[in-house]
């Protein structure tokens, strides 16, 4: 499965959402909002081109104005590499504050050979899908729309099937956390979830706290990751 390529497209699409690309209606009108304060499903699906399609898929996953927050400083680094850069910095800052910790080079997704980067990407995408489900907004209709958008982005039938199963399964932070096989991978999964979650939503915040517990994140590392996410999202215009 080429999870890395799909994930990179989805993360880069945050810039399209931020700049209202890929969400303009075919009739030339302004993008409309859903009753939940989010982006209208029809307007998300009306764009053309890979960036617009990825923006549509991401917007459908998020189902709210959070989609716009995926833009800003995060995507200025470039897609999946952006996530790696933020995780690397958070991990490095945390290491510097550990008096007795060995100063090893963090092996984040942006610094790994292809095979390992693919493994990290798979875990990160699992975390993103789970975070998108944390507020319970994805119903059967939205799942079908997401499946359709993902199919436009990748012809990998195995990957499409895996994503569909991830969307369908009950939300289980313990099961999500089991995908992390290293501290850096756990950090990336938590950071990706942070960028997706609306922390003012009780259900989403509760999910995020439980995910951190299941990932066995060090309290100090968790603080650094949250600080990096906050700086990235603060750079996004309201």
Rounded average pLDDT over 141-162? 87
Rounded average pLDDT over 203-211? 93
In the chain, % of residues over pLDDT 70:
69
Tokens 């609306």 belong to which residue?
198
User: What are the tens digits of pLDDT across the range 158-169?
Assistant: 999 999 999 999
User: What are the tens digits of pLDDT across the range 23-54?
Assistant: 333 233 333 333 333 333 333 333 334 455 56
First-to-final CA distance of the chain:
36
Rounded average pLDDT over 199-218? 92
pLDDT of residue 211: 97
CA atoms within 13 A on the CB side of 111: 13
pLDDT of residue 30: 36
Q: Which of 195, 201, 129 is nearest to 166 (CA)?
A: 129
pLDDT of residue 32: 34
pLDDT of residue 35: 33
pLDDT at 210 over 90: yes
pLDDT at 233 over 70: no
Higher pLDDT, 77 or 157: 157
pLDDT of residue 7: 86
Neighbours of 139 (CB within 10 A): 10
pLDDT band at 97 (very low <50, low <70, confident <90, very high): confident
Tokens in use for 70? 């995926």
Pairwise CA distance, residues 23 & 121, whole Å: 26
Handedness of CA 160, 36, 235, 52 (dihedral sign): positive
Q: Which of 77, 79, 30, 31 is nearest to 51 (CA)?
A: 79
Name which of 47-56, 144-153, 199-208, 212-221 the model is least confident about. Answer: 47-56
- Calculate the average pLDDT of the chain: 76
pLDDT of residue 73: 37
pLDDT at 187 over 90: yes
User: What are the tens digits of pLDDT across the range 44-89?
Assistant: 333 334 455 566 677 677 664 455 455 433 443 457 888 888 899 9
pLDDT band at 177 (very low <50, low <70, confident <90, very high): very high
């Amino acid at each position: 499965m080429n999870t890395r390529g799909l994930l990179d497209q989805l993360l880069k699409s945050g810039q399209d959402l931020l700049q209202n690309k890929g969400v303009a209606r075919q009739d030339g009108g302004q993008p409309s909002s859903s009753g939940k304060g989010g982006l209208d499903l029809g307007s998300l699906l009306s764009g053309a081109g890979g960036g617009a399609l990825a923006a549509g898929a991401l917007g459908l996953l998020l189902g709210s104005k959070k989609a716009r927050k995926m833009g800003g400083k995060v995507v200025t680094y470039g897609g999946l590499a952006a996530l790696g850069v933020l995780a690397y910095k958070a991990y490095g800052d945390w290491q510097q504050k550990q008096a007795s910790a060995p100063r090893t080079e963090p092996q984040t997704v942006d610094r790994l050979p292809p095979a390992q980067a693919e493994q990290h990407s798979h875990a990160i995408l699992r975390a993103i899908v789970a975070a998108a489900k944390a507020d319970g907004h994805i119903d059967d209709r939205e799942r079908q729309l997401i499946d359709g958008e993902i199919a436009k982005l990748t012809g990998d039938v195995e990957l499409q099937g895996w994503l569909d199963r991830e969307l369908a399964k009950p939300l289980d932070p313990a099961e999500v956390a089991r995908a992390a096989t290293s501290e850096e991978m756990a950090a990336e999964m938590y950071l990706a979830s942070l960028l997706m979650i609306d922390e003012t939503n009780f259900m989403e915040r509760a999910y995020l706290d439980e995910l951190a517990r299941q990932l066995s994140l060090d309290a100090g590392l968790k603080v650094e990751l949250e600080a990096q996410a906050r700086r990235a999202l603060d750079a996004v215009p309201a």
